[in-house]
Structure 1
Amino acid sequence: MSRAFVKEAGETEVFEAMPDRPVSPHPNLVTPEGLAWIESELARWQAAHAEALAGDDRAEIAQTRREFRYWTARRASAQLVPPPVQHDQVRFGSTVTIARGDGRQQNWRLVGEDEAEPAQGTLPYVAPLAGAVMGKSVGDRATIGTEAVEIVAIA
């Protein structure tokens, strides 16, 4: 275990409160799946914290308390956005297909920050690519850094 969160007090270790996890300054927009995931994380950390308390594991108590605070804050600030009904423009919750200059096509679903997993095809709505395509329609072009991409499908 890292000694970063421990003070020496003779032969007794005293665990300091762990600092809070950083919380994004952006609105906490979530899809219905994202809200369910936040609620499952909250329940998971609440159970882990109760288990740590029961076992009197002070290091684990500090860790689970920190995670429970984070997920409680994320649940309290969550703003549920229903799935888009129209697919004429890229919106939060849309799945957008882009064509890159080298001929590759990529699909991205634009979701909340906590639920984003780029390796799984979900991108946080605050990512530069998401911001560049938001509000665009099929056939529109967007610039990401120095690269231009074309919107080829919206679902």
Structure 2
Amino acid sequence: MGRYRPPRPRSSPYITPEGWNRLNQELDWLWRVRRPEVTQAVSEAAAMGDRSENAEYIYGKKQLREIDSRIRYLSKRLDALTVVRDRPADPDRVFFGVWLDVEDEAGETARYRIVGADEIDPAAGWISVDSPFARAALGKAVDEEFTVPTPHGEVVYFILAVWQDPPMD
């Protein structure tokens, strides 16, 4: 009996040009470099004889399935994504792809970039446009406040700065 997992909600189909390039490079690397390497290793392992007890063959086939799965996912996802290249008319407002500095009620500051769901990187401060934080911040301007619902209650943030390009500091 399998474990049922309900389908995940659809994420926004938006991505930055850098994110699209990164996914496209991963797809190219998997297809041109990684898959041929693993295919060669599986062929060599298969030539050794009994495949049912050949761990290298079994593991190689498993790797090929994972690579093929990722290639299928990336191919479909790249076709479905919309690259957002246009800059907003008002450079002081929070929109997709911008960097922003915020301050919370306790005086703690943080820097975030609002990106597509395929690009999130919490360590770098890249958050999904689908996150509650980004949804609350979108459309707000510098010196405005916005409220983010959290499991521990609502948190109010104040927008200190907004950049279109990576901030230099």
| TM-score, with length taken from structure 2 | 0.73
Structure 2's unaligned 5+ residue stretches are 1-6, 43-59, 164-169
Q: Which has the higher strand share?
A: 1
C-alpha displacement at 1:44, in angstroms? 2.1
| Count of aligned positions | 134
Letter in 2 for 1:135: G
What's the offset of the Cα at 1:90? 0.3
For 1:49 and 1:93, how far apart are their aligned partners in 2?
Answer: 32
Q: Residue deviations 1:96-155, cap 9 Å, x none?
A: 111101101111111111111011121111111111100101121111121111111111
Residues 95 and 133 (structure 1 numbering): CA distance in 2 closer, same or farther, change over 3 Å?
same
Question: Quick one: which amino acid aligns to residue 64 of structure 1?
Answer: I
- Given candidates 14, 17, 22, the residue that maps to 1:37 is 22
**Bigger CA radius of gyration:** 2
Matching residue of 2:103: 99
Q: How do residues 130-149 of structure 1 correspond to structure 2 at under 5 angstroms? A: 130-145=134-149, 146-149=154-157
Bigger drift between 84-93 and 31-40 goes to: 84-93
Please state if 1:150 is matched with 2:158: yes
Structure 1 counterpart of 2:77: 74
Identity %: 25
Query: Contact 1:31/1:83 (CA < 8 Å) preserved in 2?
Result: no
Mapped partners of 1:83, 1:50: distance in 2: 38
**What's the CA shift for 1:51?**
2.4
Aligned to 1:10: none
* CA RMSD after TM alignment: 1.7
Unaligned 5+ segments in structure 1 are: 1-21
Asked if structure 1 preserves the Cα contact closer than 8 Å seen for 2:30 and 2:67, the reply is yes
Larger RCO: 1 or 2 (CA < 8 Å, sep 6+): 2
Local SS of the residue matching 2:147: strand
Return structure 1 stretches of 4+ with deviation > 2 angstroms. Answer: 49-57, 83-86
Superposed CA offset, 1:15-49 (max 9, x none): xxxxxxx8761232111101110101111221322
**Counterpart-to-counterpart distance in 1, 2:113 and 2:86:** 11
TM-score normalized with structure 1 length? 0.79
In structure 1, give the amino acid aligned to 2:11: H
CA distance in 2: counterparts of 1:42 and 1:23, whole angstroms: 23
Asked whether the 8 Å contact 1:49–1:68 carries over to 2, the reply is no
Aligned to 1:118: 122
Match of 2:47 in 1: none
